[in-house]
Structure 1
Amino acid sequence: MTDTMISSATRETVIGFDRPFVMIGERINPTGRKALAEEMKNGDFSRVEADALAQVAAGAPVLDVNAGIPLADEPAILADTIRLVQSLVDVPLSIDSSIVAALQAGLEAYEGKALVNSVTGEDEQMEQVLPLVAKHGAAVVAISNDETGISEDPDVRFAVAQKIVNRAADHGIPASDIVVDPLVMPIGAMATAGQQVFQLVRRLRNELKVNTTCGASNVSFGLPERAGINSAFLAMAIAAGMTSAITNPLEPEIVRAIRAADVLAGHDPDCATWISTYRPVETESRGRRRGGRRRATA
């Protein structure tokens, strides 16, 4: 069975076939968040601090960190953000950028074994990103698209993932350090999007023996009640064998679905996490009412 270990300076998280599903907190990302983008661009990281602390408190064992802000110095901002987040929380981080210089700056600032997000199957990008991953001893998210774009054929996407795994091996990166993203398309635009991902995840697990991840919220883009769709998607993805996802740990419905799926998949021994999280706690006053006596009045 495949385990992918990532770490901060003091804490390890393992993504694996027979382990609890790993939530990668998505909130430190200015994409689509104008206020956060403007703050980060101007050196205000108060919202980043709040999001980092809240996501870890909600149970996220890994945080994704993105600084993709138009017309900003992404490498510098990403490195500063990584240093800040690592000073606040001890969980490992996913360094998220499509800019190689930003990935390099983030890796140089990082303490521990990071998850690099990401590399595609484009030859030029692989030859830039994979040596960087190998140099820093990191793990990497492999996106299953290449120069031809994102194929609607699951077999083509599988072939791209296989290509990345093989090319990574040429750079000394083992399959255990590769987490494949099969690419989740919006279900509102592509009716078979969910089925394609589940089919791909099974093949990636059984044939390539790699761990998997995705941007889970993509599946519900454009639809109402997105948390409901995301929750159902994640539970079904876990049943298919997916081992991690970039998602929002501040959505109780999503977290509950993931924890329930872990129970049903046998990844929560003795239901310990479920019980400790959701068992009702008797209040002190309730205990007093049961055990105490009413004082007599004169």
Structure 2
Amino acid sequence: MSLTRSWAPPGPYDLRRSLGVLQRGPHDPACQVAPGAVWRASRTPQGPVTLRLVQGRARVTGTAWGPGAEWALDRLPALLGAADRPEEFVPHHRLTREAHRRLPGLRLARTGLVLESLIPAVLEQKVTAIEAYRAWGRLLRRFGEPAPGPAERRPKGLYVMPDPRGWALVPSWEWHRAGVDGKRAATVVRAARVAGRLEEAAAMALPEALARLQLVPGVGPWTAAETVQRSNGEPDAITVGDLHLPRQVGYALTGRRDTDDAGMLALLAPYVGQRHRAAQLILAGGPRMPRRAPRMYAHDIARF
């Protein structure tokens, strides 16, 4: 049986762009963009859920299957960005002003699920996106469960991630086969063991949420920010410690190629309270820094 709820955005809305940040690569087993719909498979406090989201002219409709259907639909507006306030953003650069004008339908999603965003962020630490996406997909297909709902209606290969106990019981050799080193695997296991305390961060203000996540050894500022951007929909959760973001922001705003974290934060100082949104608009509307070297080499530790 399915349940349905709809939400009417108060203004322009772009479903794919707003929820695209939740997809971990083009073949994410937990989030897929099919023709005309966005599909999500999540593990809620009430159990697994499959959520199908379709944007109409004036409303976004969510259809949910599984034990977590009511929980997911109760929070549908928040997921879609109802609590976000893009109108409060004040551009201070021509680039952000133009991007904000061109992307009026962009809202910051809020999943309310911390572990769902934390684990893939841990897998993305200090490796290429391809490596992280591959590990996430393999682990979900191996240790997750097929998403609830009629198989003939949902996309093939949609999976719900393991519960905290399932993550904690993944054997060491399976982490290795997925290309995840021991440090990242241990961080995921530690997080899974305190999942209940971490999930409380979804209702915390930004400083408290970041501090709570970083109590887990192996979770630093980068991972914590990447998590609360999605779980809490935080417009000021700027990512620091990233290999590319400071240089991209610096290049877009100044033409310089050597901007570090401190330089990026200085450039974004006028946007305090909205620095994550500013960075997203800069990436969406600014020039991309030309590459001078090949992409970072993707290692496959499963072969070693």
TM-score by length of 1: 0.29
